[in-house]
Amino acid sequence: MAKPADVTDANFESEVLKAATPVLVDFWAPWCGPCRMVAPVVEELSDEYAGKVKFVKLNTDDNVRTASQYGIRSIPTLLVFKGGQPVGQIIGFRPKGDLKKRLDAVL
């Protein structure tokens, strides 16, 4: 199972905003219980959408600038970026089927 790569304030622009494919960013923190619940679902989706969508994680505790830039107030928050712009947002834990529907809708 492919683990989403970690991104930071320093490489967010090159890894997410300038990516050739859509990118799902998992905004999370180590102390967040629902974040730990959504992580394996995101990993499964990263396998299923390999080559179509890039999956990355951003620790909101360590990367406050990017989290605040995108108005992340609750975690987990999943943002889908396409062409450098956010095109979809999912807040909180959702079942895999819900995440797939939302992801397919923006692709």
The active-site residue, picked from 16, 35, 90, 103, is 35
- The label of the residue with tokens 């406050």 reads 64
The count of other CB atoms within 10 Å of the CB of residue 62 is: 13
The active-site residue, picked from 19, 32, 91, 106, is 32
Beta carbons of 100 and 45 less than 8 angstroms apart: yes
| Spatial separation of the C-alpha atoms in residues 22 and 16, rounded to whole Å | 8
| 4 catalytically annotated | no
Which residues does residue 50 pair with via DSSP β-bridges, in sequence order? none
DSSP-assigned letters across all residues of 55-88: EEEEETTT-HHHHHHTT--SSSEEEEEETTEEEE
| 35 catalytically annotated | yes
- Would you name the residues annotated as active-site residues? 32, 35
